[in-house]
Structure 1
């Protein structure tokens, strides 16, 4: 797989404190962070960092996820060892189960804890028809729209600077026709239309935080999503990235499928975010099941054979995604099996916190093959050496520098 689009090379000049070239000296160069967003959900951190749920019902990380067996130190060690981006849950029904009583305190504490450790924090989602608060039911359409607009603007403005990346609206293709349970958003989408709902989400989010990166996200990867994207763009709505979900509970779809799908969505010229991806380490869901939510069983264990399959497939999957120049981020949907979505064995850690082969296999890419460890390098007579590596942040002689596209020369002063 060609990775040249992910790699840069700079002529690095190292100076002494008084501005002279540090000639013919061995210094240590190492990578500190990828530009590419390697993410996972951070739901499990909400309880461990922010404390138990409050607000009159299940909130935040207790809706989907919420590892009960891991300590904060164990979870942090595994998460921070691989990922530089975390998605936190802002499902309306979990965030504000009782009108006016929100989960803002826990989520702010969790987001700050992650940001302090160099993790980019993403909020998910601003608008969705699922996990809605019951108190919205029975309200008129105009009132629901007013409350939705206020929620979007309040979240993006209130968390600005801490969370500047959001799934602005989730699963719009199905939103007006969703029939699996009552909610107040589906009738609004049916009345206003899909494009109007996208406009609402993006314009209110942009007003709340003009610097935010806003994602249009969907699981429907058919032509229906392409038609929606085309309509949104023709309507002049500014979206920053296209979100693509690939929950593969029925088996890995393969490199050929992924490449063709990515090419279809790359033609819009926008970054592609793989917002939700999973691979199983247990038995696969029966192929005749159409809605993943319809397969929920009492026990779905991880197995030795499944774990080996998951490890092999996660390497193939990540290679194919990182190898595509339009893909900007990959967000895996589950660090641990404990509390995983639908009870599926999708995590990179078992329920007891032990690491599956998939964790080590992914680490072999992100912090192995695609990473520059501490490496001694010798400067030339002019204090210069060549550093080649994956785009991102580095240090040399204790001083930070970056390898970015279009930058061929960098000067640092040895600390």
Structure 2
């Protein structure tokens, strides 16, 4: 397979020795090698899985949701599930653990990496925190992390630990418990506390700091965290582009600035609408409330071109490990924006087809080859999970950064 040098970091070569159950090499035989999953995380917010896994909706709605999720599984290998405290535990002591566990288990069984979003955030936080003192709020937040991270350990081992801290202490839309304690602790202080508690409960988890603010303020915050000894596993960058595509120049500029830390970059919340662009004068995206925001053929073509360019730029960058589209479907999308890859009726948009071609075509490895006289075969392909098929048998292996020869029994 010949690929651009720009994707060399996404690939590797490996030599495999094929033997039969008696240990004899399988020589000069034709075999198939098929990639079954990417190491890179191509994700989406897919809250619809909660309905599918729990079967807690009408039969018609369930069939609709199942068809939607099948389209998701055809392309994506990573999913974000909602842990907004005010929705997850609207009444103190009664979390939606069972529903979310069913959804996480359902996804894991289908080889989808699941991330929880978020453990700590001032927006959509539990309203009952307002009845507490700041000391009690902090203890409740610690208890929330301990309970949920432990409950989901093994199902969810990736978390947006704390969300949008740049604005957290100065958030003034409404009073909330998390802004109160962030004023006491400071930005770096509250991040340090939340990361330490999460790390304590699940030492092997991948922990993200996540923000929509891509200015120097976020850079300063990250720098302060690292100087304070906080172990951030990945930098989360939100890229909601309701007001227009960033374009190559801004995207590369953001990548360059946040690459200075040498940490993995996750584009955690990506939005590219297939409808009109939100007016530039809107400061808070949440303030744009309109009765209908249609997806149109003209703007769907624009979305497809933007998706193709943006994903290609990010996939080529060596520090980017994950891209998550925030809304898989226009059905129930944030702000009502037509930002999904499929329409409200579950039909795929051009962006879906473009992305499927990239992820499962251009960036996938499927080959038919022959073993040599020693039963050896060499493969060059994209990093990820594979299967070898020969004589009606199938064996799985991984292609990662190691180059050791692997023996496979067929």
Q: 1:262 aligns with which of 247, 255, 263?
A: 255
Q: Which residue matches 1:28? A: 32
After TM superposition, give the deviation of residue 48 of structure 1 in Å. 2.6
**What SS is found at the alignment partner of 2:18?**
strand
Deviations 1:43-86 (A, max 9, x none): 11112322549xxxxxxxxxxxxx96862431232111111111
1:125 has 2:128 as partner:
no
Residue in structure 2 matching 1:276, options 269, 277, 301: 269
Report the secondary structure of 1:232's partner residue: helix
* Contact 1:69 1:338 (8 Å CA) reproduced: no
1:215 and 1:241 in contact (8 A); partners too: yes
- How big is each residue's C-alpha offset from its partner over 1:268-316, in whole Å with a ceiling of 9 and x where there is no partner? 1111111110101000111121211111210001000010001111000
| Structure 1 spans left out of the alignment, 5+ residues | 54-66
CA contact (8 A) 1:69 1:353 kept: no
Please say if 1:386 is aligned against 2:378.
yes
Correspondence for 1:326:
319
Does the 8 Å CA contact 1:50/1:105 hold for their aligned counterparts?
no
Conserved? CA contact 2:12–2:382, under 8 Å: yes
After TM superposition, where is structure 1 displaced by more than 3 Å over at least 4 residues in a row? 67-70
User: 2:11 is matched with which residue?
Assistant: 7
What do residues 328-368 of structure 1 show as CA deviations (whole Å, max 9, x unaligned)? Answer: 11111111100000000000010010000110000010001
Partner Cα separation in structure 2 for residue 412 and residue 48 of structure 1: 37
Residue of structure 1 in register with 2:409 after alignment? 413
Q: Deviations over 1:110-149 (max 9, x none)?
A: 1001101111111000000000222111321111011011
Q: Number of residues paired by the alignment?
A: 400
Alignment of 1:31-180 (within 5 A): 31-52=35-56, 71-180=64-173
Give the secondary-structure state (helix, strand or coil) at the position aligned to 1:43.
coil
Query: Residue 215 of structure 1: CA displacement?
Result: 0.3
Cα shift readout 1:356-396 (whole Å, capped 9, x = no counterpart): 011000001000100123x3211111111221111011111
Q: 1:361 to 1:149 in 2, by over 3 A?
A: same
Alignment of 1:275-354 (within 5 A): 275-354=268-347
Determine the C-alpha separation between the residues in 2 that align with 1:30 and 1:119: 18
Take 2:143 and 2:131, find their aligned partners in 1: how far apart are those partners? 18
SS in 1 for 2:128: helix
For the residue of structure 1 that corresponds to 2:378, the secondary structure is: strand
Match of 2:227? 234
SS at match of 1:197: helix
Asked if 1:246 corresponds to 2:221, the answer is: no
Cα 1:266/1:70, change in 2 over 3 Å: farther
Q: Residues of 2 paired with 1:130 and 1:140: CA distance? A: 19
Structure 1 residues 303 and 68, CA gap change in structure 2 (3 angstroms): farther
Quote the Cα distance in structure 1 between the aligned partners of 2:41 and 2:364: 14
Aligned mates of 1:220, 1:76 — CA distance in 2: 31
Aligned mates of 2:397, 2:151 — CA distance in 1: 32
Q: Given the alignment of the two structures, is residue 16 of structure 1 paired with residue 9 of structure 2, yes or no?
A: no
1:6 & 1:376 partners in 2: Cα distance? 21
Distance of 2:55 and 2:258 partners within structure 1: 40
